[in-house]
A = this chain, B = another copy of it.
Amino acid sequence: MEIAPTDRTTVHRLAHRATYDRGAINAILDEGLVAHLGLAPDGQPVVLPTLHARVGDEVFVHGSVANRMLRSLRNGAPACLTVSIVDGLVLARSWFHHSVNYRSVVIFGQARLVEDDDRKRAAMAALVEHVAPGRGGHSRPPTAKELAATLVLSLPIDEVSAKIRTGPPIDDEEDLTLDVWAGVLPLALVPGPAMADDASAARQVPEHVQEWSRPG
């Protein structure tokens, strides 16, 4: 399914890398571990790294109810949420053609405060599951007090575009004979050995931690 681009989501630079396909967009949102949330109170842009989680056609972000930045969004101020995944370094023969293989999604919109407790709890579950699939069932759900202390915002996946670069460097024809190695160095976010905390030291590392990986 394609989402019709708007003036804001039409990709102008390197338009051949753009996609508006919902499946591709969802896959990037689900695989990307963190998002960068943009807001502009008083016209000054602010970019905050934050966890996100997609459920259907919306993306949730959360924070403390005391978080001034998130609070500034709850009354419909314009926001931008960007998720990017680096897949590799594109090492070309010229400095000029160096690049990065990446997948990114940019969502524009207005966030809505999630006030219903059931929806809030579902968003928090999605956030925990986004970080570590399976974790929701292996840790304690929020109490009423914790729920009340958490601010959850929903951003509709409506005005959105993705950009994807894959493949080898694209060098100028006349550079192909240069004495330079060129190609791609793939990169991935890889887990090291799980480190139990003091009270868990005697426990076996559970499967959902041992076999953690990003979806997709």
Contacts and interface: CB of A to CB of B under 8 A. Distances in A.
Interface of A: 8, 12-13, 33-34, 36-40, 43-49, 51, 63-64, 66-69, 78-82, 84, 86, 88-89, 91-96, 98, 100, 102, 104, 106, 108, 124-125, 127-128, 131-132, 135-136, 138-143, 146, 149-150, 168-169, 171, 175-176, 178, 180-200, 203-206, 209, 212
B140 A95 contact: yes
A189 B86 contact: yes
A47 B104 CA distance: 11
Given A138-B181, A191-B185, A47 B40 contact: no
B142 A84 contact: no
Taking chain A's interface residues, is the majority helix, strand, or loop, or is none over half, making it mixed? mixed
Given A140-B175, A168-B198, 13 more contacts: A13-B68, A34-B84, A34-B86, A40-B43, A44-B80, A45-B45, A45-B78, A91-B209, A94-B142, A95-B136, A98-B127, A183-B197, A188-B189
A190 B13 CA distance: 29
Given A182-B199, A196-B182, A13 B189 contact: no
Contacts of A37: 47
Contacts of A196: 181-183
A133 B185 CA distance: 13
Contacts of A127: 95, 98
Contact of A189 (B12, B79, B169, B187): B187
Contacts of A86: 33-34, 189
A94 B106 CA distance: 31
